[in-house]
Amino acid sequence: MVLEVAGLHGWRAFHVRNSRRGIIQGPGGTGFPDLVLVRYTRILYRELKDERRKLDRDQVAWRDALLAAGADWALWRPSSWNEIVRDLTPHGIPAGLADELGRSLASAVANGSDAAPPPTPTQKAIAAASARARARDAGAIAGARARGPASPDRR
């Protein structure tokens, strides 16, 4: 279900069901997050667990390394469905509206224009919401860095 919602909102996804089976090779390959999602300038690293399981030692090491690098990492469980939907809906804006700005800029580039056409009211609203979300995300990352590595049970 997570992959279907991600697809509806234009995310590209890479899902590994079990990194211990040798799919990911190299030092530290085991414990890599189950799901990597990419959309525009955002990359999400998500570990998927049922309600009972905890992160193992390798998963904690990957979590700590990704958070220290400023990555957007989280643990998703079935009970986190509202968080999942919120994370996959880009800045709380329906994908169709968010894509309008991208299409407008792509059209200007294709027509050889160095400047984009004046933004529509919808595009202005999208840009403002995106700026607020980026500021919120930057604050969350700064807070995570200030707190330092988390304990294994922290999500």
Asked whether residue 107 is domain-assigned, the answer is yes
Asked whether residue 153 is domain-assigned, the answer is no
Does 99 have pLDDT greater than 90? no
| pTM check: above 0.85 | no
User: What pLDDT score does 98 carry?
Assistant: 43
- What average pLDDT does range 11-33 have in this prediction? 75
Classify residue 2 as exposed, middle or buried by CB count within 10 Å of its CB (0-12, 13-18, 19+): buried
Q: Of 20, 35, 26, which Cα lies nearest the Cα of 72?
A: 35
* pLDDT tens, position by position, 106-127: 455 456 554 445 666 766 666 6
Decide which of 43 and 90 is more confident. 43
Indicate the number of domains in the chain: 1
**103-107, 122-126, 137-141: lowest mean pLDDT where?**
103-107
Asked whether residue 154 is domain-assigned, the answer is no
Asked whether residue 57 is domain-assigned, the answer is yes
- What average pLDDT does range 70-74 have in this prediction? 96
Domain extent for 10: 2-147
- What average pLDDT does range 41-70 have in this prediction? 94
Does 24 have pLDDT greater than 70? no
**Sheet strands side by side (includes 35-39):** 12-15, 35-39, 42-48, 72-76
Asked whether residue 152 is domain-assigned, the answer is no
Asked whether residue 155 is domain-assigned, the answer is no
Asked whether residue 93 is domain-assigned, the answer is yes
CATH number at residue 65: 3.40.1350.10
> What one-letter code names the amino acid at 45?
Y
Asked whether residue 123 is domain-assigned, the answer is yes
